[in-house]
Amino acid sequence: MMGRFGLGAALAFALLATPAAAGEQTLDKLDLAIGKALFKRPWVPAPASTRGDDGLGPLFDARSCTTCHPRDGRAPAKIEDGTAGRGFVLMIARPDGSSDPVYGRRFQIDAVPGIPPEGIIGVSDTPLPDGRIARAPHPLELGYGRLDPASGLSLRVAPDLKGRGALAQVPDAAILAIEKEQAASKDGVSGRARRITRPDGTTAIGRFGWKAAQPDLASQSAEAFFLDLGLSNPYHPEPWGDCTPTQTACRNAPHGNANRTEGTADDALEIGRPLLDRVVAYVASLPAPAPEPLPEPERRAGARLFAATGCAACHRPALPTRDGGQAHMFTDLLLHQMGPGLGDTMPEPGAGASQWRTAPLAGLSDALADETGLLHDGRARTIQEAIAWHGGEAAEAARRFGALPMPDKAALVRYVSSL
User: Does 196 map to a domain?
Assistant: no
| List of residues 6+ apart from 323 with CB closer than 8 A | 14, 169
> Average pLDDT, stretch 345-355?
95
Residue span of the structural domain in which 141 resides: 79-157
**Whether residue 198 has pLDDT greater than 70:** yes
Is 297 domain-assigned?
A: no
Instruction: Tell whether 55 is covered by a domain.
Output: no
110-111 and 152-157 beta bridge pairing: unpaired
Predicted TM-score of the model (pTM): 0.91
Q: Please give the residue that has the higher pLDDT: either 1 or 47.
A: 47
pLDDT, tens digit (0-9, with 9 covering 90-100), for 108-143: 999 999 999 999 999 999 999 999 999 999 999 999
Contacts of 152 (CB under 8 A, 6+ apart): 92, 93, 94, 95, 344, 345, 346, 347, 353
The confidence band for 27, taking pLDDT boundaries of 50, 70 and 90, is confident
Is residue 390, in this structure, part of any structural domain at all? no
Residue 149 lies in a domain: yes
Tell me whether residue 2 is in a domain: no
Query: Does 101 fall in a domain?
Result: yes
Number of domains in the chain: 1
Query: Rounded to an integer, what distance in angstroms lies between the CA atom of residue 173 and that of residue 185?
Result: 18
List pLDDT tens digits, range 240-288: 999 999 999 999 998 876 545 445 666 679 999 999 999 999 999 999 9
Q: Is a pLDDT exceeding 90 seen at residue 367?
A: yes
- Distance CA(389)–CA(270), nearest Å, equals 41
Q: Is residue 14 part of a domain?
A: no
Query: Residue 326, Cα to own-chain centre: how many angstroms?
Result: 21
Q: Average of pLDDT values for 147-159?
A: 97
Q: What pLDDT is attached to residue 261? A: 46
H helix runs in 77-198, sequence order: 164-168, 172-184
Amino acid found at 58: P
Q: What's the pLDDT score for residue 123? A: 97
Cα angle at 298 between 295 and 302, to 5 degrees? 140
80 burial via Cβ count (<10 Å: 0-12, 13-18, 19+): exposed
**Helix (H, G, I), strand (E, B), or coil: what is residue 399?**
helix
Other beta carbons within 10 angstroms of residue 394's beta carbon come to 26
Among left, alpha and beta (phi > 0; psi -120 to 50; other), residue 369 is alpha
What backbone phi and psi angles, to 5 degrees, belong to 255?
-125, 160
Question: Which position has the higher pLDDT, 75 or 2?
Answer: 75
